[in-house]
Structure 1
Amino acid sequence: MLIGIIGGSKCNKKTEKLAEEVGSEIAKRRHTLVCGGMGGVMEAVCRGAKKAGGLTIGILPGKSKEDANKYIDIPIVTAMSHARNAIIVRTADIVIAISGSYGTLSEIGLAKSIDKTVIGLNTWDIPGIIKVDSVEELIKEIKKAGNSVSGNTVSCILYPEY
């Protein structure tokens, strides 16, 4: 499954550690991460995914691949600033919000307006988000959501043997 991660471009150490754990657990389950490709929650979640052997896609706001954090495998340059958030949300099968501010709120709103599942961990408390309090709960909700995803579900992702 292609899992969108949204969250703040800046975060404290506690959120950074949490995001890294989320990335690791998602990658261990062979899901691919798509995010904004920059710092903060995005970088932490990608770092966790890479440590666990996962694949990461960064939808970048600027004009250069070099802007991506060092844990992005596939940088996609948009030169669209915050408008790239629509690409992240549309591309993902489900969306996970970790912490975040108004940019994250706008992504949640867009995701809900197109009926995407949004799972929230330490983020906005608004109707329609599946709120979880731990990474373990998050993984259970991802599994539930994955069972109901249809249409653009990634059915098979091949990983090369190293």
Structure 2
Amino acid sequence: MPTGPSVPDPSRPAPQIAVCGPRDCTEPEAAAAREAGRLLARAGAVTLCGGGSGVTAAVAEGASGAGGFVVGIRPDTDRAAVCAGLSAVVYTNMGEARNAILVASADAVIVIGGSWGTLSELALARHRDLPVITLGGWSIVDADGAPVATAHAARTAAEAVEFALAASAARLGNRNQ
């Protein structure tokens, strides 16, 4: 009997939830990412991430530890830079442009913490009208200083995952039911 992550059933595609965050994250951000990964795996979602260090390594650890399927979308072709816990790796060799592939592959995006790369992923997701859930990190204001509604602000990893799954199901018309 095979061990490791279960392969998604193509007749019932699982939601694909991207989890983004800084490569130099804090321990609370890493803990939130591990919890988000664990919860996504338990819900049967495919976890998408950058496949490197920081938040992406933590979410891969959490999801793979719970038996989830995790896809890392790398900006390079450096196999030595890949984090543990990935079920599959896409080597783009596109630098930060890979953020567009990561976001375009997602049904919803969870942003944990903030960095410039994370901000680009948030902006790309909003441009594509994808559900975005933030857990700490960026808040955006317009030129007058008024908050711009860019995302649902979650207080916990559980809330972020719950909202991401519900928003992706609503957006996709509950394709799995």
* Residue 65 of structure 2 corresponds to residue 51 of structure 1: yes
Listed one character per residue, the Cα deviations across residues 135-160 of structure 1 (whole Å, up to 9, x for unaligned) are 23223312320331228x8749xxxx
Alignment partner of 2:71: what SS? strand
Larger Rg: 2
Listed one character per residue, the Cα deviations across residues 89-114 of structure 1 (whole Å, up to 9, x for unaligned) are 00001101000211100110111011
- What does residue 39 of structure 1 align with? 53
Alignment partner of 1:30: what SS? coil
Using the TM superposition, give the Cα deviation of residue 13 of structure 1 relative to its aligned residue in structure 2, in angstroms.
1.3
Partner residue of 1:142 out of 138, 151, 164 = 164
Alignment partner of 2:86: what SS? coil
Residues 169 and 175 of structure 2 are in contact (CA less than 8 Å); yes or no, is this contact kept in structure 1? no
Question: In angstroms, what is the RMSD of aligned CA positions?
Answer: 1.8
Alignment partner of 1:72: what SS? coil
Partner residue of 1:98 out of 98, 107, 112 = 112
1:146 corresponds to which letter in structure 2?
S
* Residue 21 of structure 2 corresponds to residue 7 of structure 1: yes
Residues 65 and 75 of structure 1 are in contact (CA less than 8 Å); yes or no, is this contact kept in structure 2? no
**Unmatched 5+ residue regions in structure 2?**
1-14, 141-148
Count of residues in Structure 1 that have an aligned counterpart in Structure 2:
155
Residues 49 and 102 of structure 2 are in contact (CA less than 8 Å); yes or no, is this contact kept in structure 1? yes
- What does residue 5 of structure 2 align with? none
- C-alpha separation in 1, matches of 2:167 and 2:134: 13
Percentage identity across paired residues of the two chains: 34
Residues 20 and 110 of structure 2 are in contact (CA less than 8 Å); yes or no, is this contact kept in structure 1? yes
Q: Write out aligned runs for 1:1-162 (5 A).
A: 1-126=15-140, 127-150=149-172, 155=176
Alignment partner of 2:60: what SS? helix
Taking a change above 3 Å as real, the CA distance of residues 80 and 154 of structure 1, as seen in their structure-2 partners, is farther
**Unmatched 5+ residue regions in structure 1?**
157-162
Alignment partner of 1:95: what SS? strand
